[in-house]
Structure 1
Amino acid sequence: MNLYVMRHASAGTRRANPVLDVRRPLDKQGKRDCLLLGNTLSSMNVAFDLVVSSPLKRSLQTASLVGTETGYEQKILLSDALAPQATFAQFQKLLAECSGYESLLVVGHSPNLVQFLGLLLQPAATAQEDCERRPAAVRLRKGAIARLTLDRGAAMLQWMLDPRVVGKLYASSTSKSRRKTSRK
């Protein structure tokens, strides 16, 4: 399975009231980052068989914008296994349920999604070691995506895309390709 792990894009500042924070939408920069990233993924011929999102608004918007740009037309599945309070066991159960899909995009939140990613990159441990092991250190910024291949044992990280890098690449590719030179 090709697993794409994405952290939701920029959604402004966190609200003190947790009820209001659940409904916090993406800001302008977050929407722009999603569209650029989706466009980049599309140009890389990345397509998703299934898109799963946290039920929070900012994650659902991120999944929707990126999915639309890559040609995903099915319904986005909402899962509490990607919510901010989810556990690694819930996340593993979600992956097991989606094992029939070849290409899966999951969109969630930090810090748990980053921890899940770090734990996936480690070799399998026994049940006792599972409680004691620390996840591999991975930095996944808002709007960033990582591609992993899941086989038996540890997952393998194929690549990561950061929205700031994608923005810089897009800006440099749309500007003039020839350097200015003097004709004197």
Structure 2
Amino acid sequence: MNLYMLRHASAGQRRSNPVLDVKRPLDKAGKRDCLLLGNTLTSMNVSFDMIVSSPLKRSLQTASLVGTETGYEQKIVLSDALAPAATYAQFEKLLMECSGVESLLVVGHSPNLVEFLGTLMQPAQQTRASRPPASIRLRKGAIAKLNLERGAATMQWMLDPRVIRTLYANSTTRSRRKISRK
């Protein structure tokens, strides 16, 4: 399975009231980053067989925007296994339920999505409880591709929204390298 782990894009300031925070939408920068990420993934010929999102609004918006840009036409599945309070056991159960899917995108939150990513990359011989998960920085709007074939997951690549914005800005401002002629 190719597992794509995407942290929701920028959604402004966290609300102190948890009921209001659940409904917090993406901000303008977050929406722009989702569209750029979707375009980048399309140009890399990445497509998804299934998209699973946290039920919180900002994650669902991220999944929807990226899915639309990559040509995903099925319904986005909502799962509490990707909610901010989810445990690794819940996430592992979700992966088992999706085991027949070849290309899976999951959209969630930090810190648990980052912990899930680090735990997946630990070697199977080591007990996951005895050693802390690998430390990986996954910014808002960043995506990581993992290959889940045998043993520990292998990270294939990771894209940060800052890198995507820079690549997009440089590719659109000039199509040809500047060459000095003296």
Shorter-chain TM-score bucket reads over 0.9
Q: Which amino acid aligns with 2:162?
A: R
| 2:91 corresponds to | 91
With normalisation by structure 2, the TM-score equals 0.96
Number of corresponding residues: 182
Segments of structure 1 that go 5 or more residues without pairing to the other structure are none
Gaps of 5+ in 2: none
Q: What is aligned with 2:112?
A: 112
Structure 2 equivalent of residue 102 of structure 1:
102
Structure 1 residues 179 and 130: CA distance shift in structure 2, 3 A: closer
Are 1:29 and 2:29 matched, yes or no? yes
Tell me the SS of whatever aligns to 1:13.
coil
* In structure 2, distance between residues paired with 1:181 and 1:61: 42
What is the alpha-carbon distance in structure 1 between the residues aligned to residue 125 and residue 84 of structure 2? 24
Q: Give me the whole-angstrom Cα distance separating, in 2, the residues matched to 1:159 and 1:180.
A: 29
1:40 aligns to what?
40
CA RMSD of aligned residues (A): 1.5
Paired letter, 1:7:
R
1:16-165 aligned within 5 A: 16-125=16-125, 129-165=127-163
Of 160, 168, 171, the residue aligned with 1:170 is: 168
Helix, strand or coil at the partner of 2:58: helix
Percent same amino acid among aligned pairs? 78
Amino acid at match of 1:73: E
Q: Which SS does the other structure have where 1:147 is aligned?
A: strand
Taking structure 1 as the reference length, what is the TM-score of the superposition?
Answer: 0.95
Post-superposition offset of 1:177: 2.9
Deviations 1:136-181 (A, max 9, x none): 0100000000000001210000000001100000000001234567
Measured in 2, the distance between the counterparts of 1:168 and 1:100 equals 36
Q: How much has 1:132 moved relative to structure 2?
A: 2.8
CA distance in 2, matches of 1:83, 1:171: 33
Q: Do the aligned partners of residues 88 and 125 (structure 1) sit closer, same or farther apart at CA in structure 2, a change above 3 Å counting? A: farther
